[in-house]
Structure 1
Amino acid sequence: MNWTATGGVGHPPPGGFPHDALIYDSVEDLVGTVTPFLTDGLAAGDAAVVAVRPGTAAVLREVLDDDPRVLVLDETTTYGRRTPAAITAFRRLAREHAPDDSHRLRVVGEIDFGPTERDWLEWDRYEAVINEALRGFDLWGVCLYDTRQLPGAVVDAARHTHRQLVTPTSRTPSPQFVDPARYLRSLPVPDEPLERTPPRFAASEVADFIGLRHAVATELAGLTAPADLIEDFLLAIDEMTSNAVRHGLPPVGLRLWTAPDRVVCTITDGGPGWDDPFAGYGPAHGDDLSRGGMGLWLARQLCDYVDIRGGDHHEGDGGISVRLTIRLP
């Protein structure tokens, strides 16, 4: 397959974000697809970045003869633990390494989807979100899905979140691709069993914001957890509670649960909420941070899981509910 042709399937025009998936089951398919993608791009004046697992990186380094023009990055550092950090990282790479307006940065990426279905869901959301979040950045991504290592559900989701599927001989539209906004709205909000138990702490009709923070901090002080983890969680709670007070409608409520492996906090208000499935994956007002709009974005960076629901599905109330979860080491 020719990855250097102008137009057509070989070289998409600048301005969009070509987001391809390589679903493979052999080293031969990996090498046969990724090598020409990178080398043809370099020949055409594009830049190249590889952010993959160590074993995959070793294979690609060898077939590329350690070409110094290919920037090989540590996958865990690039993607980070949480999805907004990965989006920020790839935006930064595009700004720093895209050669000029007529060329782009080609990226080969490989996600560590984690060990649980809950982790898979977070990265599945990410793969849908970046179709929009990276639009306008001069990137062309090929995401690697090794069927020998990944769960079938993760591989199946790749067909829904990538517009194009690639092989050593073809680049074709994925027949199962779903519009990202529609796909994100279709994903379930996972059940949290703790919410069916009495909370460790609860507050309704929140009015004393400072007093609430002190009360929550007191509840968390006795946990066996790193201090910075607890501080991050408190900041996320502050941001979401403040958002509910400023932008929602009363009553604003908060419930907190703790378990040996996680802490969960749900903030509710009586407002209509919002229907933007991309909310919180970047600052609401772009690069102009002086305009605010960073609360949900910060929460997604500070918490392992952020789930948004219309209303409190356990009590049948109206309004909106934001559930924040951190895992304890």
Structure 2
Amino acid sequence: MTWLHPTGDWDGTGLAHEGFVFSSDAELVERVVPFVLEGFRRDEPVLVVAGERVRSLLAGQLGTDLGRLAVFAAAETWWRGGHGTLQAYDRDLRALRAEAPSWRLAAEPVWLAREDGREWSRFEAVANRCYDTMPYYSLCLHDAQRLPADVLAAVARTHPLTWDGAAPAPQPAYEDPACFLHRAQPAWTPRPEAAPVLPVTSPGQGRRALSVLLPAGRRARLGDVVLAAHELLVNALGAAPFAELSTWTDGDAFVVEVADAGPGLADATLGYVPPDPADGARGMWLAWSLADDAAVCTGPAGTTVRLFFRA
């Protein structure tokens, strides 16, 4: 294993984000063990968060060196939904930044094998933007025997680096985060002709309208719907003198749409980026986290956001 270059030319001053797909125990061990040992040689904190199988393999290979890991944890307990998981991850990264000049993480997002965990691919994409200056190497482990083909395709599209057998190399399928999110969000279809469209000039007006428009069978989500729409309306009314509020039902989802004729969003990924504790801007993050899904269409002619609330 000594001929491998586990982190290539990474100098520890910014994020390196590698998607490693393995098909056998031997492939996993040959990639991860040198990665861990290199971290020990460089006196970097090494964190491993993985599923039971991966942890067992690494424990057998590392022996007494297992105790040198800064973290050795079960990934199975970490899933809290996309926003909740990223928020906890963000908190841990900021704590590490305060303590260490650089560190490395080998993580296996086992929840990608679950239907409700596939949204994590969107957060993997956004990490390339919101953590690009964080000084750590993120080696993301993906088991080809467990994950569906579409999830593995998303791994390539959301990780700038891949393993070429000897060193990290640029991933040719990698996409800009905004481009990936645009493709990953619910398909954008025309608003139904029968959907009510209300001009709104204040968030309170929108809240009152939604309290009436929400169907009786969905009243359990009233708080989420009203608060999420309020945040969108605050943003929309900051960009234009009025907004349009519309609602309809699409299959099992209640859809809330807020549209404005402002200049468009400077960054369409904001709903997936944890708010900076220093500036307190959290509207889109909160709205996205309260909904079950979201989609955005933005440009010079304005912005339209749709939130989906399932029963």
Aligned residues: percent identity?
26
Q: 2:302 aligned with 1:319, yes or no? A: yes
* RMSD after superposition: 3.4
Name the residue aligned to 1:241: 233
Scaled by the length of structure 2, what TM-score is found? 0.82
Name the residue aligned to 1:92: 91
Q: Map of 1:47-196 to 2, 5 A cutoff?
A: 47-65=45-63, 67-70=66-69, 71-75=71-75, 77-82=77-82, 84-97=83-96, 100-113=99-112, 120=118, 122-166=119-163, 169-181=166-178, 183-184=179-180, 187=183, 189-191=185-187, 195-196=191-192
In the alignment, the residues of structure 2 paired with residue 259 and residue 306 of structure 1 have an alpha-carbon distance, to the nearest angstrom, of 13
User: How far apart are 1:175 and its partner, in Å?
Assistant: 2.8
| Aligned residue type for 2:102 | H
Give the total of aligned pairs. 308
Contact residue 3 and residue 41 of structure 1 kept, 8 A: no
**Do the aligned partners of residues 209 and 256 (structure 1) sit closer, same or farther apart at CA in structure 2, a change above 3 Å counting?**
same
**Do the aligned partners of residues 194 and 163 (structure 1) sit closer, same or farther apart at CA in structure 2, a change above 3 Å counting?**
closer
User: How far apart are 1:35 and its partner, in Å?
Assistant: 2.1
SS at match of 2:72: strand
User: How far apart are 1:156 and its partner, in Å?
Assistant: 2.2
Name the residue aligned to 1:18: 16
Structure 2: 5+ residue runs without aligned partners?
none
In the alignment, the residues of structure 1 paired with residue 287 and residue 2 of structure 2 have an alpha-carbon distance, to the nearest angstrom, of 43
Structure 1: 5+ residue runs without aligned partners?
312-317
In the alignment, the residues of structure 1 paired with residue 278 and residue 28 of structure 2 have an alpha-carbon distance, to the nearest angstrom, of 40
**Do the aligned partners of residues 261 and 179 (structure 1) sit closer, same or farther apart at CA in structure 2, a change above 3 Å counting?**
closer
**Residues 119-143 of structure 1: CA distance to partner in whole angstroms, max 9, x if unpaired?**
74x4333222111211222221111
**Residues 174-233 of structure 1: CA distance to partner in whole angstroms, max 9, x if unpaired?**
23333445x33762653367943744xx342113532431331344473357x5x54233
In the alignment, the residues of structure 2 paired with residue 231 and residue 73 of structure 1 have an alpha-carbon distance, to the nearest angstrom, of 35
SS at match of 2:112: coil
User: How far apart are 1:42 and its partner, in Å?
Assistant: 2.6
Scaled by the length of structure 1, what TM-score is found? 0.78
User: How far apart are 1:241 and its partner, in Å?
Assistant: 1.4
Q: Map of 1:197-216 to 2, 5 A cutoff?
A: 198-199=194-195, 202-207=196-201, 209-216=203-210
In the alignment, the residues of structure 2 paired with residue 192 and residue 102 of structure 1 have an alpha-carbon distance, to the nearest angstrom, of 43
**Do the aligned partners of residues 218 and 63 (structure 1) sit closer, same or farther apart at CA in structure 2, a change above 3 Å counting?**
farther
Contact residue 4 and residue 167 of structure 2 kept, 8 A: no
Which of 293, 296, 301 is equivalent to 2:281? 293
In the alignment, the residues of structure 2 paired with residue 234 and residue 24 of structure 1 have an alpha-carbon distance, to the nearest angstrom, of 44
In the alignment, the residues of structure 2 paired with residue 310 and residue 50 of structure 1 have an alpha-carbon distance, to the nearest angstrom, of 39
Report the structure, 1 or 2, having the larger helix content.
Answer: 2
| Aligned residue type for 2:16 | P
In the alignment, the residues of structure 2 paired with residue 255 and residue 110 of structure 1 have an alpha-carbon distance, to the nearest angstrom, of 36
